[in-house]
Structure 1
Amino acid sequence: MAVPQNKQELLDAIRTTYLKLAAGLASVPPERAHEMTLEGHAQGTQISVSDLVAYLIGWNLLVLKWSEGKAKGLPVDFPETGYKWNELGRLADKFYADHAGIAYADLLRQFADVHGLIVALVERGTDASLYRTLWYEKYTQGRMIQLNTSSPYANARGRLRKWKKANGIA
């Protein structure tokens, strides 16, 4: 999928990749969702499908936090307070821990809910606010949203499909 260049393309990318990923996640048997057999976000690690969903929820929540802070004119810690961009493995571990022990069905609901909030955020924006003003360093708000929603959704879908095939899940 091409990199979105305007509000409508961003909405289409977020919705399309989410729907495809959500369908794949829905077909994972809940009893298999917590198996630590999926390639992790840090090289040489293993995570569960539930952890993958927690990771996506975590990034989506950060997008919302960044956007809310910026809208209020507050300083925003990118990527997250207490983390630097070269510590994304540690941040991923935080996302897994934040959602540990949550039933798979509940994680899927949380993911659907935060996805809805992301869509609403983009819908409130304009082409100008999303794509014509630098928002964080060299990135527009639309690009930062895409980098932390539709791109990871597409990546997660590929990883999930590979995992399902390797584990005989249709």
Structure 2
Amino acid sequence: MQEYVDTAALISEIKKTASLFIAEFDGISEADKSLRLEEVDRTPQELIAYQLGWMNLLLNWDRDELDGKEVITPSPGYKWNQLGGLYQSFYEQYQEQSLAQLTALFVSTVDRLTQWVNDLSTEELFHPGGRKWAASTPSNWPIWKWVHINTVAPFKSFRSKIRKWKKLYLVKTPR
């Protein structure tokens, strides 16, 4: 897994990969945002909804812990071995949003998330035990790993998915 020398490096990588990911949606029409192609496991709308879902979970886990609430990971009603259902809840939550609205939500959520990361101390961000929710699994990851695995990593892997979707779409619907 990629590592970061400091908070600024993590934030820089989040912003860079987020920008590259969301730019891939340029040129996709509103009418095609929910088009499922057999060779790609998610629609364009689902790719963005997935990202929004995980970023908001991270932010909500932290807010809830700081508010003294019990944090249930990954989310109330879901266990770690039930992520497919959790992903479906993300898709349903954002299904009525236009592609332009999803893009704007993505950009604003990345901004909120990077501000949150910036506000964490080095100790909180880079050392195990920075938050109880981060230590809620046997891996006992520091917060930065949770952030990386739910932002930078899928921004990169899902970028290749949307590129594949666009390539296949152009083959199936020549202009």
| TM-score normalised by the chain length of structure 2 | 0.85
Residue in structure 1 matched with residue 47 of structure 2 by the alignment: 52
Residue in structure 2 matched with residue 43 of structure 1 by the alignment: none
| Alignment: residue pair count | 163
Q: Note the C-alpha offset of 1:99.
A: 1.0
Amino acid at match of 2:27: S
Identity of aligned residues (%): 25
Mean CA deviation greater in 116-125 or 31-40:
31-40
Alpha carbons of 1:147 and 1:39: their partners in 2 closer, same or farther (altered >3 Å)? same
Amino acid at match of 2:64: G
Deviations 1:103-147 (A, max 9, x none): 111111111111111011011112221002324231111111111
CA contact (8 A) 1:14 1:150 kept: yes
Runs of 4+ deviating beyond 3 Å: none
Q: Note the C-alpha offset of 1:5.
A: 4.6
Q: Which has the higher strand share?
A: 1
Q: Secondary structure at the match of 1:152?
A: helix
Q: Secondary structure at the match of 2:170?
A: coil
Residue in structure 1 matched with residue 105 of structure 2 by the alignment: 110
Alpha carbons of 1:50 and 1:3: their partners in 2 closer, same or farther (altered >3 Å)? same
- Superposed, which structure 2 residues align to 1:32-71 within 5 Å? 32-37=32-37, 39-40=40-41, 47-71=42-66
Q: Does residue 9 of structure 1 match 2:9?
A: yes
Residue in structure 1 matched with residue 157 of structure 2 by the alignment: 155
Q: Secondary structure at the match of 2:77?
A: coil
Amino acid at match of 2:149: L
Instruction: Give 5+ residue unaligned stretches, structure 2.
Output: none
Q: Tell me how large the CA RMSD over aligned residues is.
A: 1.8
CA contact (8 A) 2:40 2:164 kept: no
Residue in structure 1 matched with residue 115 of structure 2 by the alignment: 120
Amino acid at match of 2:40: E
Q: Note the C-alpha offset of 1:71.
A: 2.3
Amino acid at match of 1:39: V
Amino acid at match of 2:62: S
Larger Rg: 2
Residue in structure 2 matched with residue 31 of structure 1 by the alignment: 31
How many Å separate the matches in 2 of 1:91 and 1:3?
27
Amino acid at match of 2:35: E
Residue in structure 2 matched with residue 44 of structure 1 by the alignment: none
Q: Does residue 76 of structure 1 match 2:78?
A: no
How many Å separate the matches in 2 of 1:141 and 1:71?
14
| Equivalent of 2:85 in 90, 94, 97 | 90
